[in-house]
Amino acid sequence: MANLRKYKKQAISDPYAGGAVWRPGVTNRADRFIHEQAECLPGQIGMGTSVLAFVRLDPTACIGENCCIFSDVFIDKYVTIGSDVVIKYGAKVLDGVIVGDNSVIGAHVKIYGATSEPGNDRKTIIGKGVSLGDGVEVLAGVRVGDGAVVGADVVLTASVPPGAIMTGNPAKVVGYTRDTAPVAESDSDADVLREVQTTSVAGVTLHNLHNVQDKRGNLSMGEFGRNIPFMVSRYFLVYNVPAGEVRGDHAHFRCHQFLVAVKGTVHVIADDGVNREEFVLDRADKGLHLPPMTWGIQHKYSADAVLLVLASDYYDNEDYVRSYEEFISHVSLNLGAPGV
């Protein structure tokens, strides 16, 4: 709410504010501020919302409570804006778009909807707590996950996972925001003795591998089908990853994976479509099992990191789920299946 008040105070200095003063407790039109040169109806605007000059709001659109809509914004037909949303100067939100609560839409952003496109019923959805930088374009049918941050002038042509940080053209994930600290396994004796640890993500487990300390050099080992919970058909190594790059960012229909940072540190995000958790792999005797239909992301590679990935299946491009939106669709179907 503090940030929203900051934006509303900024709106006071708008040259098209018509001399009207907004401050907490001073409103008009039944606890709303609507500039006389704005094209909208009070019934479309939630309590505590401010709408500045030259805003055009289609009669079928609606805006939630405590929002701040800057000058020259256009909100098209059947658009739904949540509460505590800020939409800056010159932004356009088109054709049935849904914007979640607590989001910030930058100046001159364009968010295209899908309702006007023949045969396209996929909605464009901006999640809760999303930040879109100035000049961003979001194409029709794209879904931006909760808490995502998109840098200025990025063009989004594909859906964005929750918490992703996107920059560049073409847009790419450069990191992830987190509401909670990553899970780093404790070095206490109790945790080391616990060979397998369950997590909040379905089927994902942390493994303490057998570790032999020796003056001639240490040894870490695992046995396929035993403490590594599947038989291995292939392996690959990921190393020399440039700073800020993100690897993975996909799921598999059938393939199991087991990840070990044999050198350095790698952060891994596992997502089952309902729960997400971040793990730190920083020892050669610590492994992470990602079962099928787990969205996996690796980032924050240290400069010396070497990540070993053991896979249950041979490479098959058809086994990959590369769109987070497609992944969520498959998860939703599975959750709705009988007996699930």
Structurally, at CATH architecture level, domain 183-335 sits in Sandwich (2.60)
Q: What is the pLDDT of residues 46-73, one digit of tens each?
A: 999 999 999 999 999 999 999 999 999 9
Which of 24-33, 79-88, 111-120 comes out lowest in average pLDDT?
24-33
Do 183-335 and 1-177 fall under one CATH topology?
no
Taking the model in full, what pTM does it have? 0.63
267 pLDDT more than 60 = yes
- What are the backbone angles phi and psi of residue 212, rounded to the nearest 5°? -110, 120
CB-facing half-sphere around the CA of 316: CA atoms within 13 A = 12
In what helix (H) or strand (E) does residue 210 lie, and over which residues does it extend? strand 210-212
Band the pLDDT of 223: cuts 50, 70, 90: confident
More confident residue, 14 or 215: 215
List of residues 6+ apart from 4 with CB closer than 8 A: 66, 68, 84, 86
Partners of residue 270 on adjacent β-strands: 277, 296
268 pLDDT more than 90 = yes
Specify whether 210 is catalytic: no
pLDDT at 340: 40
d(CA 268, CA 301): 10
Domain 1-177, CATH class in plain words: mainly beta
pLDDT above 70 covers a percentage of the chain that reads 83
Structure-block tokens of residue 102: 């607590």
d(CA 314, CA 316): 6
154 pLDDT more than 90 = yes
Band the pLDDT of 10: cuts 50, 70, 90: low
More confident residue, 325 or 89: 89
pLDDT at 181: 46
pLDDT at 182: 55
Band the pLDDT of 174: cuts 50, 70, 90: confident
Q: Please state the domain extents for the chain.
A: 1-177, 183-335
d(CA 83, CA 149): 18
Catalytic residue among 35, 108, 210, 250: 250
Whether 37 and 54 have beta carbons less than 8 Å apart is answered as: yes
Query: Closest Cα partner for 255 from 278, 274, 230?
Result: 230
Structure-block tokens of residue 248: 């993975």
Burial 40-79 (b: 16+ CB within 10 A, else e): beeebbbebbbbbbbbebbeebbbbbbbbbbbbbbbbebb
Whether 231 and 225 have beta carbons less than 8 Å apart is answered as: yes
